[in-house]
Amino acid sequence: MNDITPFTSRDWDSQPNYIDSGYKSTTLRGPTQPLVKIPTTLTEVTGPVFTPARATDLDADLTRNGRVNGEPLGERIIVTGRVLDEMGRPVRNSLVEVWQANSTGRYVHKVDQHDAPLDPNFYGAGRCATDENGVYRFKTIKPGAYPWGNHFNAWRPNHIHFSLFGAGIASRLVTQMYFPGDPLIPLDPIAQATPGEPLERLISKFSLDVTEEGYALGYVFDIVLRGPNATPMED
């Protein structure tokens, strides 16, 4: 198996450090030893293949998939974008999973203790598969900000959690999408773990083209994953 095309390397200028003095939980949880560089084998360039049909249309509509006796409260939004690799190739038929707080900033998760109301008609998680052009699309409710215990008066900016797979297990990515103009972003240690231009890539863009007349505002969030390097490695 000598014809493996390695993936583009992890871009350490774009990725956070394991130990980050601003984000206190990293202190005991981030690895402290340098990562060991290893040769690429078939293990890293392969990964799970999901059948797109296993994610239904309802799974991608968070305004509907948690309804019990009415509509969820809050501002309806559409979140869409393309999943590409660094060479600009679309990542096709790939699973995109999202989870988020409701409009009050409360998660359905049992351990969320924030004193804000649950919405009986909002679950807050969904998934879809990218299409032939790498496009994904969700309908949801704009998540609220919520407090957390990192430091005094700490609040997470509005955000949606994203999980992505890409071409192989080495391209796996879990990240968070933010909203333009959020005043909490400059104060948030998690967002600021990749400050400057890389952080701009985590902030969605408002789009009037995606916005639907009389229904919901639209936001675009494109995602770039590692993928097969176009040219063979020279070593």
Residue from 77, 78, 190, 210 that binds other proteins (CB under 8 A)? 190
Please give the structure tokens belonging to residue 233: 């490695």
Stretch that binds other proteins, among 47-55, 70-78, 137-145, 206-214 (CB under 8 A): 47-55
Does the protein bind other proteins through residue 53 (CB under 8 A)? Answer: no
Nearer to other proteins, 86 or 211 (CB): 86
Strand partners, 163: 97, 174
CA atoms of 225 and 163, how far apart (whole Å): 11
Stretch that binds other proteins, among 72-80, 131-139, 205-213, 224-232 (CB under 8 A): 224-232
Number of residues that bind other proteins (CB under 8 A): 92
- Contact indicator for 129, 96 with CB cutoff of 8 Å: yes
Stretch that binds other proteins, among 36-44, 70-78, 133-141, 210-218 (CB under 8 A): 36-44
Residue 107 annotated in active site:
yes
Residue from 23, 138, 179, 219 that binds other proteins (CB under 8 A)? 23
CA atoms of 224 and 52, how far apart (whole Å): 20
Report in angstroms the alpha-carbon separations of 162 from 99, 136, 175, 177, 212. Answer: 7, 12, 5, 7, 23
CA atoms of 84 and 167, how far apart (whole Å): 10
Find the distance separating the first CA and the last CA of the chain, reported in whole Å.
17
Residue list 65-124, contact with other proteins (CB under 8 A): 65-66, 84-88, 95, 97-99, 101, 107-112, 123-124
- Contact indicator for 84, 90 with CB cutoff of 8 Å: yes
Does the protein bind other proteins through residue 153 (CB under 8 A)? Answer: no
List residues with catalytic annotation: 107, 146, 156, 159, 161
